[in-house]
Amino acid sequence: MKTKNGQTEDIFADLIIALIFIVITVIIIGVKQGEHEIGTSTILASEKNTLKNMDLLTLLRTPAMQVNQEKEGLSEVRNINFAELFSMIYQNYPNEISGFEWLFDDFIDGGIASDSLSCESNFKDLITETLGYPSWSLRFYSFTGKQIFECDNLQARKDYAQKQGYYAKFNTTIPSPQGKNILIEMEIIE
Amino acid sequence: MNRKGVAILSLAAIGFLIAIVLFYGQVDKLPGNQKKYLGEAEVNLFNTYIAAEKELLYIDLMAKYALDDSYEGGDLLIQFKNNFGQRLVSFNEVYGRDISINDYQIKMSKDNIVGITNKQLNITTDKIDYNFRPSFRISL
């Protein structure tokens, strides 16, 4: 290109230099801004897990069903929560046989009598409806560490959910009427 | 094109680049800016609450079962205190506590039994010191 004074100037060299500056600036801002966003805006998988753990803990205190109970010679209807329901397992299986499929089975012990309840659709529906998550699993371990009950309603792939952070595992120990502890392990899989 | 202008423009551009690098390099080090993920502090608080709530759930259930065992065999309140005291041993084992029936003031009314304690249980994590009292109330 010719200037007024007749000098030749390669305007493209200036343009390229300007372009390089712009690209470098954008890269710096992009990289640094990206680092900054990770530190302030990303929601951690552990946050989701914590909230699900809250849901599982709430489930244990939520009323599950009504049972008839004899107290001082009188029969009365009593609301029991899920933690109480789960802790009934020893009443039917005092010898700690593994592979229980019945949570309880029409037993009349300690004054509590009710319908049978096993890992079937009624039990699954009860938990699914109360918990609000369709895909879950539930396991009980006795005071000796032996698994004594298992029930699940898995609608999603666990390995995928674990990788994506749509998974929570919750453990807690509850007492039973017999004085033996039960470790409850629950999972939510989205 | 005026070469003097190019020199000034280049200096300005280089200065701008240096300013950007310095700004983004130093912004995280400013006082008060903790490098934490969004909600990280809240998650820690929730987890501490969950740990405490597990213990309180155990106490509540234990009290309920102690009451169920107390209807036969004499004075209800005395029986309850004995049963609850025995079950506290299990609680102490599970959660590593040292609370006893003597730490409780247990009162019975027409509708319920209330156990009040001034003993504080503590859960300490990195930046959280959480105290709670394992008092309970159960319906008769």
Residues of B with CB under 8 A from a CB of A: 1, 6, 10, 13, 16-17, 20-21, 24-25, 27-28, 35-40, 42-43, 46-47, 50, 53-54, 57-58, 61-62, 64-65, 68-69, 71, 86-87, 90-91, 94
Per domain, the residue ranges of chain B are 39-139
CA-based torsion, B53, B55, B59, B64: positive or negative: positive
The alpha carbon of residue A20 and the mean position of all alpha carbons in its chain are separated, in whole angstroms, by 50
All residues of chain B having their beta carbon less than 8 Å from the beta carbon of residue A53 are 46-47, 50
Asked whether the beta carbons of A188 and A167 are under 8 A apart, the reply is: yes
> pTM here?
0.73
Q: Which residues of chain A lie closer than 8 angstroms to B27, CB-CB?
A: 36
Confidence of residue A26 (pLDDT cuts 50, 70, 90): confident
Two tokens, residue A99:
């592979």
Those residues whose C-beta lies under 8 Å from the C-beta of residue A63, and which sit 6 or more positions away, are A79, A80, A81
Q: Do B58 and A173 touch (CB under 8 A)?
A: yes
| pLDDT computed for residue A183 by the predictor | 92
Contact B27, A36 (CB under 8 A): yes
Is the ipTM reported for this complex over the cut 0.90? no
The rounded distance, in Å, linking the Cα atoms of B7 and A14 is: 11
Distances in whole angstroms, Cα of residue A178 to Cα of each of A143, A166, B81, B135: 12, 36, 17, 22
- Domains in chain A: boundaries: 1-42, 45-189
- The pLDDT tens digits of the residues spanning B38-80 come to 677 788 888 899 999 999 999 999 999 999 888 877 888 999 9
Q: Give the model confidence (pLDDT) of B21-39 as tens digits.
A: 788 777 666 665 555 666 7
Closest residue in B to A35 (Cα) is: B24
Q: For A111-117, what is the mean pLDDT?
A: 47
3-class DSSP assignment, residue A30: helix
